[in-house]
Amino acid sequence: MNKRVPPIGKADGTTFEILAERVKDVHNATSSVAKGAVNQLLTIRNWAIGCYIVEYEQEGCDRAKYGLVYCKIWLTNSPSRGLTVSC
């Protein structure tokens, strides 16, 4: 869309088809940019929401407390040594 488009009007012989084609070109050129911007903003929004949820659930710990029960059960039944539950 870097090319300069001359003004159009019925007086210069522009037809409805030419007008429709120019409208379509503007729509196509701008909609792809708009989709990219919206996608970027939604990604940032979703990341921020996830960050808030993680902070709420974990209360400053490395993992949420509800996971401690499962970790303790797994470690009790696991033959692995040197693993501990923290936080």
Q: What is the pLDDT of residues 32-68, one digit of tens each?
A: 889 999 999 999 999 999 999 888 888 877 766 777 7
Instruction: Pick the more confident residue, 70 or 6.
Output: 70
Instruction: Pick the more confident residue, 82 or 23.
Output: 23
Q: In terms of residue numbers, what domain contains 16?
A: 10-77
**Does residue 61 sit within a domain?**
yes
pLDDT value at residue 27: 93
Nearest to 26 by CA among 36, 34, 14: 34
pLDDT value at residue 8: 67
**Does residue 84 sit within a domain?**
no
Lookup result for tokens 């979703």: 46
Q: How far is CA 53 from CA 17, 21, 39, 44, 71, in A?
A: 52, 47, 21, 14, 21
Helices (H), 59-79: 66-77
Report the number of distinct structural domains present in the chain: 1
- Would you say the pTM of this structure is higher than 0.75? no
